[in-house]
Amino acid sequence: MAKTFSITTAIDYTNAAPHIGHAYEKILADVLARYHRLKGEPVFFLTGVDQHGQKVQQSAQKQGIEPAEFAQAVTTKFVALWEKLGLSHDAWAATTDPLHKGVVQKILQQLFDAGEIYKAAHSGFYSVRQEQFLTDKERGPDGEFGPEWGEVNEITEENYYFRLAKHRDWLLGYINSHPDYVTPSFRQAELRNAVERLSGDLCISRPKARLEWGIELPFDAGYVTYVWFDALINYISFAGYWNGSEPRNAEFESRWPALHVIGKDIIIPAHGVYWPIMLHAAGFTDAEIPPLLVHGYINIAGAKMSKSLGNIVDPAVLAEKYSPGALRYYLMRETATGQDMEFAEERLVSRYNTDLANDLGNLLNRTLNMAQRYREGVLKRPVADTPWLTEGRAIVEQYVAKMDQFLVHAALEAAMGLAAKCNAYIEAQAPWKLAKDPAHAGQLDEVLYHLAESLRLLSILIAPVLPDAACGMAAQLNIAPDAPLSAALDPAAALADGHILGKPTPLFPRIEAEAKP
């Protein structure tokens, strides 16, 4: 049996509503999951929400409600958005789930018993207002902690620490011997530098006196777990790591390790330092360390999105206004995986109109119209493979090569290159002229077949990004929906002689510019 393609996303904080950056990450993972299903592989796609932590507790307090209620209200927004955007996840990670809490506690206990977790006292400057210890980084130019920190006291607090430093050399060795651990590779270089500088252990507890909204330590009821220690474990708890009395089972083994899709802000230290060391300390082998796919940021006007700047772009509003497909296509086509991208609503509109309404939509429309008008929709297949058909399959191979490297934007570029080629071919061949001369009947049949067959390939290639439109295209071409990728590579799967095409209906209606007030 083929190994499962497992893919996870970061789980989103439930301290605030979803934004376009969250949507980008989830769509990227969804497209990769759908692409692997298209390849015929079993897929396990996990996403979810990170519901614990101080920020959630504080946001709830501000509203005068319980953290559970607050987290649930925000979770509902994420769930509704993912449904609207067509996410095809197989499992949902919510960290308040009792199953997850149980796994976190079992792992804590295991690490505690193995001596990987110890208790120690820490003295330092504590901001009562921000509820956190401050370091010298937080001091202003005058050496003092600024007014934003409120009352700052020097206190001593006992906490539990996870032995990170002890595993530093192992992690460095792992990174050096696994050049494909992190994609893109410049992020792996950054990680290696950070690990070289690593010193000290990780505080993994918070006294309940200052944080209650978390998972209780199984060996000390006076504390809850630090939110990252809790959140990272979602990747294994929701993949079935500890469902019964013992960890691991065949299902988990088939799903692990998963590819982790995360943003650039959470590789150092959480995913690139804490997580591999947590797994290593818990007995995972080097072959079981999950690879990281690190994407860039979606920015607005050069600024990182933030509520205070008032530049939150609501993905639910965009999907409602333009269609989920338009948003999915724009984010995937305009973001080079690993790089930042500048969000601009007018680019979303122009991408949709140029690529989907004009290039692809018109191509489908013109082809079906001409086939109906000149041949009542009936195709004649050339007796032998033509160079045109071979070139079409070469474009599919380019698409595959790019998708296999997670370069969705480049794969789409290759696919849309085929649409552009078809449109140029129509202009050059002028089927309306060929139709006037019976001596060109054979050539007209060949042109129509080439176009229809290219559209069949395109209907398969767009499926991971535009699943609904792919079905719509298949219906108009009168072929079965959900064809596998192999049907775009195998000459035997080409449209049959005598195949009858359907009637055209607009698939990508143009987005008209908003009337200026």
Secondary structure class of 373 (helix, strand, coil)? helix
CB contact at 8 A, 177 and 141? no
Q: Is the peptide bond before 484 cis (omega within 30 degrees of 0)?
A: no
Q: Is the peptide bond before 184 cis (omega within 30 degrees of 0)?
A: yes
Strand partners, 124: 155
In angstroms, give the least distance from the CB of 301 to ligand MSP: 13
CB contact at 8 A, 353 and 510? yes
In angstroms, give the least distance from the CB of 267 to ligand MSP: 9
- If the CB atoms of residues 14 and 367 are measured against ligand MSP, the closer one turns out to be 14
Question: How many chain residues are in contact with ligand MSP, going by CB under 6 A?
Answer: 19
CA pair distance 20, 303, nearest whole angstrom: 13
11 near ligand MSP, rule: CB under 6 A: yes
- Residue of the chain from 298, 326, 410, 448 that contacts ligand MSP (CB under 6 A): 298
446 near ligand MSP, rule: CB under 6 A: no
- If the CB atoms of residues 22 and 37 are measured against ligand MSP, the closer one turns out to be 22
DSSP 492: G
Q: Binding string, 221-260, against ligand MSP, x = CB under 6 A?
A: ----------xx-x--------------------------
- Residue of the chain from 69, 265, 437, 497 that contacts ligand MSP (CB under 6 A): 265
From 107-115, 151-159, 261-269, 468-476, give the range in contact with ligand MSP by CB under 6 A.
261-269
- If the CB atoms of residues 266 and 364 are measured against ligand MSP, the closer one turns out to be 266
CA pair distance 159, 166, nearest whole angstrom: 18
Helix ranges restricted to H, 39-117:
54-63, 67-84, 98-113
Residue 7 has which token pair?
Answer: 């893919």
CB contact at 8 A, 201 and 159? no
In angstroms, give the least distance from the CB of 294 to ligand MSP: 9
- If the CB atoms of residues 157 and 314 are measured against ligand MSP, the closer one turns out to be 314
Alpha-carbon Rg for the chain in angstroms:
27
50 near ligand MSP, rule: CB under 6 A: yes
- Residue of the chain from 6, 7, 22, 161 that contacts ligand MSP (CB under 6 A): 22
CA pair distance 36, 413, nearest whole angstrom: 19
297 near ligand MSP, rule: CB under 6 A: yes
Segment 344-403, which members bind ligand MSP (CB under 6 A)?
none
Q: Give how far Cα 49 sits from Cα of 93, 215, 425, Å.
A: 6, 15, 48
In angstroms, give the least distance from the CB of 53 to ligand MSP: 8
195 near ligand MSP, rule: CB under 6 A: no
User: Is residue 57 packed enough to be buried (19+ CB in 10 Å), middle (13-18) or exposed (0-12)?
Assistant: buried
From 18-26, 30-38, 72-80, 283-291, give the range in contact with ligand MSP by CB under 6 A.
18-26
Strand partners, 301: none
Q: Are strands 205-207 and 220-225 parallel, antiparallel or unpaired?
A: antiparallel
365, containing H or E segment: helix 363-375
48, containing H or E segment: strand 43-50
- Residue of the chain from 4, 5, 7, 25 that contacts ligand MSP (CB under 6 A): 25
- Residue of the chain from 4, 5, 7, 24 that contacts ligand MSP (CB under 6 A): 24
DSSP 34: H
From 39-47, 116-124, 263-271, 478-486, give the range in contact with ligand MSP by CB under 6 A.
263-271
Residue nearest to ligand MSP (CB): 263
396, containing H or E segment: helix 387-404
Strand partners, 154: 125
CA pair distance 312, 78, nearest whole angstrom: 15
- Residue of the chain from 21, 184, 214, 290 that contacts ligand MSP (CB under 6 A): 21
- Residue of the chain from 4, 6, 12, 359 that contacts ligand MSP (CB under 6 A): 12
Segment 304-343, which members bind ligand MSP (CB under 6 A)?
305
Q: Binding string, 397-436, against ligand MSP, x = CB under 6 A?
A: ----------------------------------------
- If the CB atoms of residues 204 and 266 are measured against ligand MSP, the closer one turns out to be 266
From 6-14, 205-213, 348-356, 484-492, give the range in contact with ligand MSP by CB under 6 A.
6-14
Residue 364 has which token pair?
Answer: 């489908």
Query: Which stretches of the chain bind ligand MSP, using CB under 6 A?
Result: 10-13, 21-22, 24-25, 50, 231-232, 234, 262-263, 265-266, 297-298, 305
